[in-house]
Amino acid sequence: MAFDLVFFGGTGDLVWRKLMPALFQAYRHDTLPEGGRIIGVGRDDLSDEQYRQQIQMRFEQVDGAKRPNSEEFARFASLLCYVRMDLTNPEAYAKLKTRLSEREANSVVMYLSTAPSLFTTVCEQLAASGLNTPQTRIVLEKPLGHDLASNRAINEAVGKVFKEQQIFRIDHYLGKPAVQNLFAMRFGNALFEPLWRREHIANIQITMSEELGVEKRGAFYETTGALRDMVQNHALQLLCAIAMEPPINAHADAIRDEKLKVLRSLKRWTPETLNQHVIRGQYAPGIIDGKPVPAYCEEAGVHPDSSTETFVALRTEIANWRWAGVPFYIRTGKRMASHEAHIHINFRSTPHEIFKNPAGQFNTLVIHLQPKDGLELHLFAQDQSKRNQAGSNNALSPVHLDLDFDKRFGSQRVGAYERLLLDVLGGRLNLFVRSDEQEEAWRWVEPILHHWRFDALGPRPYGAGTWGPSAASAMIARDGFCWSEET
């Protein structure tokens, strides 16, 4: 299957740091379709050979196991080409059209790794140049807008020149092996699905924490914040994967129809719940790995009096028969105590206790997303070494079963961007987001943004290297629960 993959923003950070290494891994794994060509598009004046040299230098900064040796890169580099373009100049698209017409590819993928403000311009110019053919697919990187109105504007503009089945809105969390195994665990096994409901589950916690700060992205983060950057897309997509009903089949629209139902069932915000169930924070100075780190307001590109949130914790519910009354807790932040992403499914206690369970602990299914990738099932068992003088023992101790996917399936597993890029080339939409999903997510998030605009208190400070503001623990404690690290 001959393909042309065009990276708009071909000299940018995302391309060399994530996309090119992912494509090389596919090439190394012999899963990249044959007859391919990868075209970088940028404003720099580079020849094909200079572009290849630039990518080779960038590969030196890639993780060692994923770094090609000189012979491997020489073979991979034969796929790389470069076209110099000013994306705001209509005449420049003729150069791209000429390059694409050098051969006849079965599919042409246009990957927009650019500022979202250019999405509409690029799509309109592709159409004006006749490059929006039935064989063309368009990939849109997040963020798609900064609110519901801007998201709709982008979707409407792109939808005028491409059909929905040609549009791939990418969320790299959906490409993670653990997220795909979440679908497999729920819908490929009979074990958990009968328990996957309000009668058996006490609460569900989604945590996505980072030790890093905003690094060199302060100016970008000032206009984004944790709610837009992580909750509106990644966290809500994870929530949908957990809470959705079984689809009628594994086709893309069947899966996305069920996710949309979850988003439409999320409880709407009220002034009371906005005050009690949404916590925003901003990291203050602290210690990470034994080294002092600055506050967010001291980072480059950040306003000294910034009210941008670097932490969000919230509580929500899904108003349907399966989940009514079950609290879902979402937490994400930068400069936190650990770099990890996981989902905790906490099951209810036994209805009639004849054993003494450890206080405050649940039977729990833990889905690890990063850096560990796998499942843990936490149970209670009787420790036969702990018997009292009467010879009885009704106290239980925690034990767990641990499935490490890397150990089970090998370390050469397909990474998130590798999987998603292969799916784009194959025309598979299952792991991509439909426009109505995005709009419904923005519709749910917007009341929070509106509330914060008029909240004079601003974000709560938390020390770098901690788990966020104490108010996040107080929020979950009101329901009689606590975050996973507090048990």
Q: Tell me which residues are annotated as active site.
A: 234
Question: 465's torsion region: left (phi>0), alpha (psi -120 to 50) or beta?
Answer: left
Chain Cα centroid distance, residue 152 = 21
User: Nearest to residue 23, comparing CAs of 36, 12, 11, 8?
Assistant: 36
Residue corresponding to tokens 């106290």: 395
User: Nearest to residue 394, comparing CAs of 404, 384, 402?
Assistant: 384
10 CB-side CA count, 13 A = 29
Written as one string, the DSSP assignment of 336-397 is BS--EEEEEEEEPPPSS-SSBPPTT---EEEEEEESS-EEEEEEEEE-TT---TTS---BEE
Residues 239 and 149 sit within 8 Å (Cβ to Cβ): no
Residues 169 and 438 sit within 8 Å (Cβ to Cβ): yes
- Dist CA 177 CA 185 (whole Å): 12
In terms of Cβ atoms closer than 10 Å to its own Cβ (0-12, 13-18, 19+), residue 443 is middle
How are beta strands 374-382 and 364-370 bridged, if at all?
Answer: antiparallel
User: Nearest to residue 112, comparing CAs of 156, 143, 81?
Assistant: 143
- Dist CA 473 CA 337 (whole Å): 14
User: Nearest to residue 471, comparing CAs of 460, 481, 480?
Assistant: 460
Residue 391 CB neighbour total at 10 angstroms: 6
Task: For residue 459, report the phi and psi dihedrals to the nearest 5 degrees.
Answer: -75, 150
Task: For residue 38, report the phi and psi dihedrals to the nearest 5 degrees.
Answer: -115, 120
Residues contacting residue 53 through CB under 8 Å, at least 6 positions apart: none
Q: Hey, what amino acid is at 82?
A: Y
Written as one string, the DSSP assignment of 28-47 is HTT-SPSSEEEEEEESS---
> Distances from the Cα of 481 to the Cαs of 202, 327, 338, 375, in angstroms?
9, 10, 21, 22
